[in-house]
Amino acid sequence: MATGEKAPGAFKTIGELSRELGVAQHILRYWETKFSQLKPLQRAGNRRYYRPDDVQLAKRINQLLNQEGYTVRGVQKLLGQRRSPEQESLSELAADYQPGEAETRTAPRGGVDIERLAGIRDRLAEALGD
């Protein structure tokens, strides 16, 4: 371990986590208000210390919001449910999805195939348990 580096299990400050994720500190504080599972320790002066589990959760939230395109509400739903590892993200679910014969036809020129979208919506709702 180089001088100045923390041990892998060490707590991180909000500044350290902010730099690691590439998001502003106020975004991390906002996530705390939206995701009840994200609860860093707060010491004197409300200084936040993120435990390793908090860091992993913040990384997952960041991935879902900023890389996979989920909304805050969508991430709240995902985090509120216990899911199997293979269904951890909708992108994985979509990758496994095989459309039925009716869903493989193309949409009218310049239009949207509403039936195909409705089928996908229904399958996603079923996978999410809605």
Cβ-proximal residues to 105 (8 Å cutoff; 6+ apart), any chain = 113, 116
Give the mean pLDDT of 96-124.
Answer: 62
Domain range summary for the chain, segments of one domain joined by +? 1-83, 97-130
pLDDT surpassing 70 at residue 86: no
Tens digit of each residue's pLDDT (9 = 90 or more) over 25-38: 999 999 999 999 99
CATH class entry, domain 1-83: mainly alpha
Tens digit of each residue's pLDDT (9 = 90 or more) over 3-51: 567 787 889 999 999 999 999 999 999 999 999 999 999 988 889 999 9
Nearest to 99 by CA among 118, 80, 74, 76: 118
Verdict on whether the full-model pTM lies above 0.85 = no
Neighbour count for residue 48 (Cβ, 10 Å): 20
